[in-house]
Structure 1
Amino acid sequence: MSHSRTKIGVAAVSAASVAAVALAGVAAQADPKEPTLGGEAPIDLKIGSAVWGQNELLDYDPDDPNEFQSILGSEFNSLTPENDMKWSELHPEPDVYDFSGADAIMEFAEANGQEVRGHTLLWHSQNPDWVNEAGGAWTCQEARDVLEDHVATVVGRYAGEIYEWDVANELIQDDWDEGGVKLRTEANPFLKACSEDPVALIGDVFRWAHEADPEAVLFLNDYNAEGINAKTDAYYDLAQELLADGAPLHGFGAQGHLSLMYGFDDSMQANFERFADLGLKVAVTEADVRMPLDENGDPTEEQIALQAERYDGMLQACLNVPACTSFTVWGFDDARSWVPGVFDEGYATIMTEEFEKKPAYFTLLESLTDATPGRSPRTPPGLNK
């Protein structure tokens, strides 16, 4: 797939044309564009949204975008495929790849001057039937061969076009799950096949991704991984083990799927700092803040205010750690949020179904505007990889 850019030649302009341009400039100053999240962010921090390309972008016409596409293209400077790069969508049969949704996202991003975070290469969930069914019978070498082919094919296709990859997603289960905090060896068909040394396989997945695209920044990623807890302690140990073995691990991502039914973990910044001290990038990769609603499906004013506070809490933890390279919301409008389909909660995003901006949106915008006047970087260029 080629993303060629049209080169426009310079032509002489008449005095009338110059005057018209000058008048247009005055008009633009009199009626400036509204600020956007991506436009107000520090230059060294990407502000992104997840999007399902197969559902939302296949019909994209740069000259005639719909309202959703216009907002997606203007508010954010980073996109994450919500589903289009997961195995079930991308690799539905052993010898079949379907890149249509993923390609649509890549093409939309290029048309709108955005970058893309890849998501995800190794996960226990949303795998196609052929992987789930065959996984239990694979030898470790068979599992490695399938996984290496997938990583090389997918990462190689988009080499040089994806700035960060969630290489391994949700590897460690929570402490309240049966068996406590540990690798999801039984649930993940690849780790199960290589259960004698699953960490070696994880390290090799990072190596295969790095070989396919040496420029991409490669992440571990999980939920309930915002603050310092038993789960992130396990990730901290895993990161140290992978780094000691020479694996090209570059980052740690906290998803940021929060609920107002629970408190906010104030140790989020400290957690990011300890991973940054290992030399890793950090990121908020899938932020939303859901809540139980009343009988009419509405939140209270207190919930709306607290939602804005929680979103800002995650953003502040990111802004205060220069190694934090991206802050991504998991969809920006309630109509496309995954939350109501999974939880008995809702109102989780920063805009309503009608694209009305919530207080959470304006709180994020204000914090981004205040963080670094003039979009100056938080650290000198090149200080972090």
Structure 2
Amino acid sequence: MPSPHPSRRAVLAGAAASAFAGRAIAAPASPFGPLKAPSWSADSLQAAASAKGVTYGCEVPFHRFGKDAAYRQAVARECGILVCGTEMKMEAVLPAPGRTAFAEGDEIQRFARANGQRMRGHTLVWHEALPEWVRPLLARSNAFQAEDFLRRWIGTVAGHYRGTIEAWDVVNEILAGQDQVRRPDGLRETPWLAALGPDYVDLAFRILHEADPRAAGTWNEDAVEQGVPWMEERRTRVLKRIEGMRARGVPIRRFGLQSHLTSTLPIDQGQLRRFLAELGKLGIGIELTEFDIDDRAFPGDVAARDRAVADFARRYLDVVLDEPALLNVLTWDIYDPDTWLNDHPFRKRPDGLPQRPLPLDAQYRRKPLWHAMRKAFADAPDHSAARARLRRG
């Protein structure tokens, strides 16, 4: 005779299921409108990039997008691909058990389609941006329950946008940082690792592929770009893990270099070139997903600082754009006043001046960084055919 009281396992599984009531993993895509003619101008960053088979775009913060027509015009003029900063993360989509919130992400998606722009999805599995109710849920769950929750989460958000997202950041920042305890496998200690073990990475890619086979699964990682020994170690770990994933048949198709470059660290073009070439040999597409330049090491004078930022960007982009596997270049926003760098305690300039890390200034004027990026695209070799093959998967 069954017990009249539900088991702990049943209670936890029910709690996870309640967050996704009425939603199936293969839910049909919402109607975001047809993909219309491109809006970008003939002299835009996207026009220069697309001539070489690359797509340029940016992160779009809804607080700016929703209220500033000049911002929307700039994004429509310059970009061929967009990504939401927060609006597709779990903290935004699942604010409470049994409740989903897609309105802001949907609005950006409709804008993109109306302007002939593609969309990236950001991000499915991260140790940050978790709603307050999810951490304790994962902590109480066994592996079966945690996997059920992960399947329902990815199925919900990827199913909602099914067929309209070019690539999803499936896992984000999964390697331990420089100052964190190192496991032998290099993985960061997170609620996902605690609940599911190291196989959660492979599992997340397989679930996305089930939910939306057309979306390219991307591993998005930070601090793998510059010429210091601890980043070289991380690059080695990346290559080793991707080799293993490919051998296991995990449907990983892309690797994302966040590219939050800092002027206080060097760019070693030789190391960078070798790393990108090794990724290309593995059949992995490459994306710059969050490109900007922390200008702390440069002078306060605006003209001198802008020139230094532009020169720094060229040293990086000239190498990256040489690699045939490079598909997308996205800046983390496009408009200086909104940069996250001014709010981060370890990124603020010592002189207190606002950073100037992005292509457009506070008046939406094109800065030296914009011109350096456009020239880098124009000077890059044309790998359009190789890039088209990688996009097809």
- TM-score after normalising by structure 2: 0.82
> Deviation at 1:237?
1.3
CA distance in 1, matches of 2:250, 2:34: 35
Give the structure 2 partner of residue 30 of structure 1: none
The match for 1:163 is: 166
- Preserved CA contact (<8 Å) 2:267 2:316: no
- The runs of 5 or more residues in structure 1 that have no matched partner are 8-32, 60-64
Question: Which structure exhibits the higher relative contact order, with contacts defined as CA atoms closer than 8 Å and separated by 6 or more residues?
Answer: 2
Distance in 2 (CA, whole Å) between partners of 1:256 and 1:6 is 29
User: What is the CA distance between 1:192 and its match in structure 2?
Assistant: 0.9
**More divergent stretch after superposition (312-321 vs 155-164):** 312-321
In the alignment of these two chains, the number of paired residues is 346
- 1:146 deviates by 1.0
Segment of structure 1 superposing worse, 312-321 or 101-110:
312-321
Q: Give distance in 1, aligned partners of 2:246 and 2:65.
A: 38
Structure 1 Cα separation of the partners of residues 153 and 133 of structure 2: 14
Question: In the TM superposition, what whole-angstrom CA distance separates every residue of 1:32-71 from its partner, at most 9, and x where no partner exists?
Answer: x660000111352110100123x23446xxxxx7111000
The equivalent residue for 1:41 is 49
Q: Matched residues in 1 for 2:108 and 2:239: separation?
A: 32
1:313 deviates by 2.9
- Structure 2 counterpart of 1:225, which letter? V
The corresponding residue for 1:84 is 87
Residue type of the partner of 2:374? L
- Counterpart in 1 of 2:341? 339
Tell me the alpha carbon deviations over residues 123-157 of structure 1, each in whole angstroms, 9 at most, x when there is no partner. 01111111122222221111111111010111111
Superposed displacement of residue 210, structure 1: 0.6
- Cα–Cα, structure 1 residues 303 and 264, in superposed 2: closer, same or farther, change >3 Å? farther
Partners of 2:287 and 2:157 in 1: CA distance: 22
**Aligned alpha-carbon RMSD (Å):** 2.4
> Cα gap change, 1:84/1:370 in structure 2, threshold over 3 Å: closer, same or farther?
same
Measured in 2, the distance between the counterparts of 1:293 and 1:272 equals 26
Distance 1:4 1:356, change over 3 A: closer
Unaligned 5+ segments in structure 2 are 1-29, 350-354
How far the C-alpha of 1:115 sits from its partner, in A, is 0.3
Q: What is the Cα deviation at residue 178 of structure 1?
A: 3.2
Counterpart of 1:88, as a letter, is: E
Cα distance change of structure 1 residues 300 and 151 upon mapping to structure 2, 3 Å threshold? same
Q: Which letter does structure 2 place at the counterpart of 1:355?
A: Y
Is 1:359 the counterpart of 2:362? The answer is no
Find the counterpart in structure 2 of residue 221 from structure 1: 220
Is 1:292 equivalent to 2:287 in the alignment? no
Cα deviation, 1:143-178, whole Å, max 9, x if unaligned, reads 111111010111111111111111100000133433
Task: Summarize the Cα distance change of 1:383–1:4 in structure 2 as closer, same or farther, 3 Å threshold.
Answer: closer
After superposition, residues 1-385 of structure 1 pair within 5 angstroms as 1-5=30-34, 35-43=43-51, 44-53=53-62, 55-58=63-66, 66-179=69-182, 182-186=185-189, 188-195=190-197, 198=198, 200-226=199-225, 229-266=232-269, 267-292=271-296, 298-299=300-301, 301-342=303-344, 343-345=347-349, 346-371=355-380, 377=384, 379=386, 381-382=388-389, 385=393
Alignment TM-score, normalising by the size of structure 1: 0.83
Partner of 1:62: none
Cα-to-partner distance string for 1:297-323 (whole Å, 9 max, x where unaligned): 944544322211222233223321111
Match of 2:25 in 1: none
Distance in structure 1 (CA, Å) of the matches to 2:390 and 2:288 = 20
Q: 1:148 to 1:180 in 2, by over 3 A?
A: closer
CA contact (8 A) 2:326 2:387 kept: no
Deviations 1:101-125 (A, max 9, x none): 1101100101111000111000011
CA distance, structure 2, for counterparts of residue 311 and residue 361 of structure 1: 10
- 1:24 maps to which residue? none
SS at match of 1:326: strand
Query: Does the 8 Å contact 2:83/2:122 carry over to 1?
Result: yes
The secondary structure found in structure 2 opposite 1:310 is helix
